[in-house]
Amino acid sequence: MTRERESLSDPKAMRALAHPARLAILNRLGVEGSATATEVAEVAGITPSAASYHLRMLAKYGFVEDAPPRGDGRERVWKPVSTPLSVGVQPGDQPEVREAKNLLIQAFRREADEEARRALENIDQEPEEWRAVTTFSRLMLRLDAEEMARLNVEVEKLFEPYLARGRDEKAAPPGARIAEAQVNLFPHVRRAAPGLPTEDHDAG
């Protein structure tokens, strides 16, 4: 059964999360588990002191929390909150909320597009078994809103057993690694017809 998600609606929290370094930190914690500011700094491309600041901001808005201390407990350890997050535009959203949601969704999309770009550029370096199962595809569907809602639930259920956040290395088979699935379900918006080219367009 899929887990309940926390739907984001606080503009300040969404703007705080939209920072590229904070998204990178949150992804690092979600995939590899608890970490210190020093450990997440490299993946975010920032200094440990900057990482510590960003972690405190993420904690302020409820995205991360303290993890059990290690060793002598001198360095603070962080983990993501247990409830997955989601953001979606609603008809009744106030302008400030809508603007913050759009900002965060765009930040999510930029990060996802960058991840896909790196994977595509590196595909020739992957072993044959991984090249064979890597897919970049678009599928055009014909369905109503109720069917699309049901498809969302079915897709989430399909991925649930494989989510890195809930499946550690010991539970996965030998050779398992981190992979990414990007799912976008949205109704098409009709493109404005560009019209036929004029003679001026054809000239030169």
**133, part of any domain:** yes
Statement: the pTM of the whole predicted model exceeds 0.85: no
**39, part of any domain:** yes
Q: Which domain holds residue 81?
A: 6-162
Helix (H, G, I), strand (E, B) or coil at 78: strand
**204, part of any domain:** no
**28, part of any domain:** yes
> Which span out of 5-19, 134-148, 185-199 was modeled with the highest average pLDDT?
134-148
Cβ–Cβ under 8 Å, residues 148 and 140: no
What confidence category does residue 203 fall into, taking pLDDT thresholds of 50, 70 and 90? Answer: low
**177, part of any domain:** no
Give me the chain's average pLDDT, please: 89
Report which of 84, 81, 82, 79 is spatially closest to residue 34, judged by C-alpha positions: 79
Cβ–Cβ under 8 Å, residues 5 and 86: yes
**158, part of any domain:** yes
Residue 133: give its domain's CATH number.
Answer: 1.10.10.10
**186, part of any domain:** no
> Alpha-carbon distance 178 to 108, whole Å?
18
